[in-house]
Structure 1
């Protein structure tokens, strides 16, 4: 009876989070510089609506909302998995140097001549896919280097995290060097790219994000019992038949890959992979059978809400969504540090 209540509570939480995501999505689609009524939104979603409403919803707002859901869910499950396999509450894909590597790659692409222009005081990247490709390569290079070292030298979870911090510092220095040789417009384009912006996503990007998320999410769900065992320690995991080192490397690589895809398309969005899993863990515990799907839903809700706030708070000015998530994530990061120190 107690177990049934335990399961029912978490299933109910999932349904509640889905309902909240739906409500925030409808609100986000209907509000902005061109406000729409709920009736207009539903008519446009079902029958298409008039031309202007159709263009606003289907070409601008709906792809942005879907990008927020997919990127938030991707960053969140990546953080949850890495915290489990690396047994560190502060672990996330960004501690592996993903965001710093992506920024370096994007900066190189812009310095080498990726198209960019200025209009009405705003910077536009005219050839985004070259920047996306370089950003993805940069994001994966840091994590791949660390994982190869971990595989060849048998690095401990603590050493993996420290290696990630070292790679982050290295890519930060390299990015600063690239920016030093950039002209004013190139430097502005680099800074603009680093701002997280879900508005860059189109249906094509959403399709790639959705396919990547579906494959990696399915793998993590299959490995939920391995994660539960690994969270108790390597010896416990090995005693129940988990190939700890191999599973840790593969899962960390997939988490990094998922983050790299997200960052490459929408820019740097920090702290979602830290805040969302911990919010779920504090409320519902650390059972990865439920932590993975609930973290995905919580991350989607968090980023979608943050983007809606970023769009509407100073409308028509749109804030970078990364600024909003950092305001949420910084206090959580400090709280975790204090909690870790208090537990010693």
Structure 2
């Protein structure tokens, strides 16, 4: 077999994996919509989605107004976190990089906590919007800290990870201080935010998140060749004509925006941006043309399945999605750390 034939066969296999991933994701979304009070079957859900006019008014309201926005919120937020984690791992050359470990999620939690403690969350009409907007501002602020750190001379990828860890602990300490000075009602709201929840999903938020994914993924794919070259090392990438510093800044801005918006919508959800890209890397390798879309698909599928699991553990009770993702992600995180340590030894 010639090298060209082998290359085409590998690409065909990767493309097949992308198609298979889309089908699995579609099934997981339908499953997410079907699980919950009401004992809906997959057939009921599919019929209601395909032909809403044939469904009963009650079934149509359950599927289209209550459950589908939450299921699509899980899909779009998962895709945003997956793209963000994949981009951060590539530009920082660190397998442990994602919005959660870099402190962006914790910064968003501070923003939400400030809005809750100062009473902005109970303002008539604008309360929920102010909490979301404040979380976004603080998350974007943390992203800007990371952004400007990359412009300092001599700052390496390892230093960026240390800065992210410092941000994470600082933000957690500030959040704890706000919790200490909050009332019982406010404390409940803050804890609810820190655990992450899809319950605040709406069609407007789904549209914004889908629009960001629709803009970010083509942009990432346009830079796919340069990102693939960056995986070979800075010197090798520069020898191939890649402007490494500029590329890192561009991708950091894009990934930070995705992370900030996702966290401001659903709260702090950890490990999805870490686990999803690693599964994608195992499936399709480092070719960013396939790695990036598969990272988005696998992360979206993981969060969609986590959403289904949060409703299926105890029928009638919906557990915060952040608890489920932590239960999935922590064992994977430990295995990843141990594998890195074994390779280093």
Q: Shorter-chain-normalised TM-score: which range?
A: over 0.9
Return the offset for 1:36. 2.0
- Runs of 4+ aligned residues of structure 1 deviating over 4 Å after TM superposition are none
TM-score, length of structure 1 as denominator length: 0.94
Q: Tell me what 2:21 maps to.
A: 17
Q: Tell me what 2:41 maps to.
A: 37
Return the offset for 1:230. 0.9
Q: Distance in 1 between matches of 2:45 and 2:58?
A: 12
1:52 to 58, 66, 78: 58
Q: Distance in 2 between matches of 1:192 and 1:310?
A: 14
Return the offset for 1:250. 1.6
Q: Does residue 1:27 correspond to 2:34, yes or no?
A: no
Q: Tell me what 2:265 maps to.
A: 265
Q: Distance in 2 between matches of 1:112 and 1:205?
A: 24
Q: Tell me what 1:69 maps to.
A: 75
The answer for unaligned runs of 5 or more in structure 1 is 118-124
Q: Distance in 1 between matches of 2:182 and 2:153?
A: 38
SS at match of 2:101: helix
Return the offset for 1:205. 0.4
Return the offset for 1:42. 3.0
Return the offset for 1:154. 4.6
Q: Tell me what 2:84 maps to.
A: 78
The answer for unaligned runs of 5 or more in structure 2 is none
Q: Distance in 2 between matches of 1:39 and 1:251?
A: 42
Aligned length: 337
TM-score, length of structure 2 as denominator length: 0.94
CA offset digits 1:67-121 (Å, max 9, x no partner): 111111111111111111100111112232111100101000001113359xxxx
Q: Tell me what 2:201 maps to.
A: 201
Q: Say if 2:100 and 2:269, in contact at 8 Å, map to a contact too.
A: no
- Within 5 Å, which residues of 2 pair with 1:300-311? 300-311=300-311
Q: Tell me what 1:325 maps to.
A: 325
Q: Does residue 1:88 correspond to 2:91, yes or no?
A: no
CA-based RMSD: 1.6
Return the offset for 1:2. 1.2
